[in-house]
Amino acid sequence: MKEAKGQKYKSSDSGYNAWLSYPVLPHGSLYDQYVKWCGTVKVTEENETIQAALQEWRQGIESMLDIKVSSESEGLCIAIGTFQGGNAVIRSVFAEDTIAKVGSEGFAIRTRAEAGCIAIGGSTPAGVLHGVFHLLRLIGSLSPIEQLDEVVNPVNGLRMINHWDNVDGSVERGYAGRSFFYENNRIVDDLERIRDYARLMSSAGINAISINNVNVHEWETLFISPAYLPDVSRIAGVFRVYGIRLFLSVNFAGPMHEGELETADPLDPGVRQWWKNKAAEIYEAIPDFGGFVVKADSENRPGPFTYGRDHADGANMLAEALESFGGIVIWRCFVYNCKQDWRDRKTDRARAAYDHFKPLDGKFNDNVILQIKNGPMDFQVREPVSPLFGALERTNQVIEFQIAQEYTGQQRHVCYLVPQWKEVMEFNTHAKGETSLVKHIVDGSLWGNRYSGIAAVSNVGNNKNWTGHLLAQANLYGFGRLAWNPDLSAEEIASEWISLTFGTDPVVSGTISRILLDSWNIYESYTAPLGVGWMINPEHHYGPNVDGYEYSQWGTYHYADHQGIGVDRTVQTGTGYSAQYIGSNAEHYDSLEDCPDELLLFFHHVPYTHVLHSGKTVIQHIYDAHFEGAERAAELLTMWSGLKERLTEDLYVQVEDRLQEQAGHAKEWRDQINSYFYRKSGIEDINMRSIY
């Protein structure tokens, strides 16, 4: 056991408990305050979720304060329960006007000295659980608790994790081991790890999880079959305790794959009835089933196009099947033709989602939600915000992020993505007046949508620390916290996660915070320059490959030749993609003079000698960024080494190993990218560094 300046460390759990590790807090005035209030807890309800909240409270307080929590003692206490649950203390603390402000997942928390308690109340057990996690988070972050008086509700209705797990146990784009839901083509028997995962997700604010890959293979239609539904129901039961609804990805051609029909035409009466019957089967097994996640007519997935129908036809058929049960259809907008010839410079994948879905605005049923990726391409380290945000005025929509670092280092490199997500959420679409931010579109407030929210692709697996790279846990935690409250800053979220995971040592906190907050910029510096993207190896998407376009027979995404680089997406000479934006955004992106440097090559094809707003030429920026990025990646390892005596050996070594790999790999990126563009352009580095 190691001890450092006021911070006591428990033996390592290898990162398994993540931000629910509850490190022992340092002694001092705040510690004394917590001991005074938190040693006694009053709970009267037997509900499973309330009891889970009680268990969490005991575990957190006994670990952080090293005291025993009693339910029998008199004096100051914590009172936990629903407003209608019969706890007299709860009813005495909260006035009716306060109770009226608490939503179905929210909570009220108040310190009332005259009553001798801090009360956590909710209108539902799930709200109470969120309140308990909130108070534990405050204590774990060394916040005072003697003057609490607040009502907290989540901003977004749907806060969802999408798993890309396959029933054989593999995980598409999985960088943290195999699935903990499946093994040997069946659902696991032991649900203990799934229960621990539900705790982690609930504590971060997640309320919906789809447990199978959106690329549902023919033989995986079994997820909605009678043979598998009982086991799926067991998982749903675990999630239910923690306020999480279970969803399933479905194959649009399910009626054909199960051998019952010869068509999947969404307007065929037999197909529509098949899905209605299937929905009834599912809800018989899982009464609170959330609904379907669907990827259709993209990357060779089946869909309504086969039958001359559109996406609204397909989504609405499924929506009708779920409607009477309260279920929803989440229809992904990641739709493009992967077999197009990209050598034709008028063919533009970036246009695809807008071109497909803008004409269908207002044609989807009320229980259909369109899930739109944050950018028009595919989770690149830098790309503009999808123009669909702001374009759909009469359609429910959620934004989709990727916690899994498919194109940002695959959890072998540290890349804290919350700053990127914040930038997207704060983007002004100009869709409805001067200020129409993405975060107000996806929370439903701008257009008054019935359903709205945020979804993201999971980054977890059966690795001992869940995410492979210990610091990648910050992205998982950060997504949940940002989905709950998009106004939290990247700095606030990082600080919370560090305190809850590593403890409150200011040296540890300051160092890890700097590593996280610098990491996105560092990764971008030594990989893809100025928004061009895609310079990765095809198929597995890891490592430098300047011409590594996924469908290599059709050329590259960056169109680099001996004269210049970039994609012309302007109206006059390019693909016209810039016109999909609204007002000044369209003007700025279309203008070579006004386009921001970080997106220049996404919107414009320019000579290597083009001068950026920074004063550098494009080619010199490429050279400098890659040299500086590699140097800064090496500095991350140096910073981390300063924590060796302040962390348990296991946690320290986990991150050290990853940062060593990153430092070496950043040099590989630097050398390959700079060498490629030197040979392509023939222009020397003005600083005369070796680049070939």
Q: Is 565 helix (H, G, I), strand (E, B) or coil?
A: strand
CB of 528 closer than 8 Å to CB of 534: yes
Residues 6+ apart with CB under 8 A from 503: 7, 8, 9, 23, 24, 25
The helix or strand, by DSSP H or E, that contains position 631, with its residue range, turns out to be helix 618-641
Residues 6+ apart with CB under 8 A from 572: none
Among candidates 425, 365, 684, 666, which has minimal Cα distance to 524? 666
CB of 531 closer than 8 Å to CB of 383: yes
Residues 6+ apart with CB under 8 A from 32: none
CB of 208 closer than 8 Å to CB of 159: yes
CB of 522 closer than 8 Å to CB of 629: yes
CB of 381 closer than 8 Å to CB of 371: no
User: Locate tokens 């997106």: which residue?
Assistant: 599
Residues 6+ apart with CB under 8 A from 535: 527, 528, 544, 545, 546, 548, 558, 673
Indicate the length of the chain as a whole number. 692
Cα gap 159→209, rounded to integer Å: 9
User: Locate tokens 């399933």: which residue?
Assistant: 248
3-state secondary structure 430-456: CCCCCCCEHHHHHCCCCCCCCCEEEEE
**Using alpha carbons only, what angle is made at residue 621 by residues 620 and 624, rounded to the nearest 5 degrees?**
85
Q: Dig out the tokens for 201 from the structure.
A: 């997700």
Measuring CA to CA, how many Å separate 58 from each of 38, 46, 65, 348?
9, 16, 10, 56
Among candidates 542, 529, 523, which has minimal Cα distance to 621? 529
CB of 106 closer than 8 Å to CB of 152: yes
Q: Dig out the tokens for 66 from the structure.
A: 């090293």
Cα gap 477→497, rounded to integer Å: 7
Among candidates 449, 455, 453, 450, which has minimal Cα distance to 432? 449
Neighbouring CB atoms inside 10 A of 59's CB total 16
Catalytic positions are 299, 378, 406
Q: Dig out the tokens for 219 from the structure.
A: 């033989």
**What DSSP character marks residue 70?**
B
Among candidates 158, 200, 110, which has minimal Cα distance to 484? 158
Cα gap 306→295, rounded to integer Å: 14
CB of 129 closer than 8 Å to CB of 89: no
CB of 166 closer than 8 Å to CB of 220: yes
Cα gap 528→550, rounded to integer Å: 15
Measuring CA to CA, how many Å separate 571 from each of 218, 604, 605?
41, 11, 13
Among candidates 290, 333, 288, which has minimal Cα distance to 314? 333
Q: Tell me the sheet residues that pair with 118.
A: 78, 111
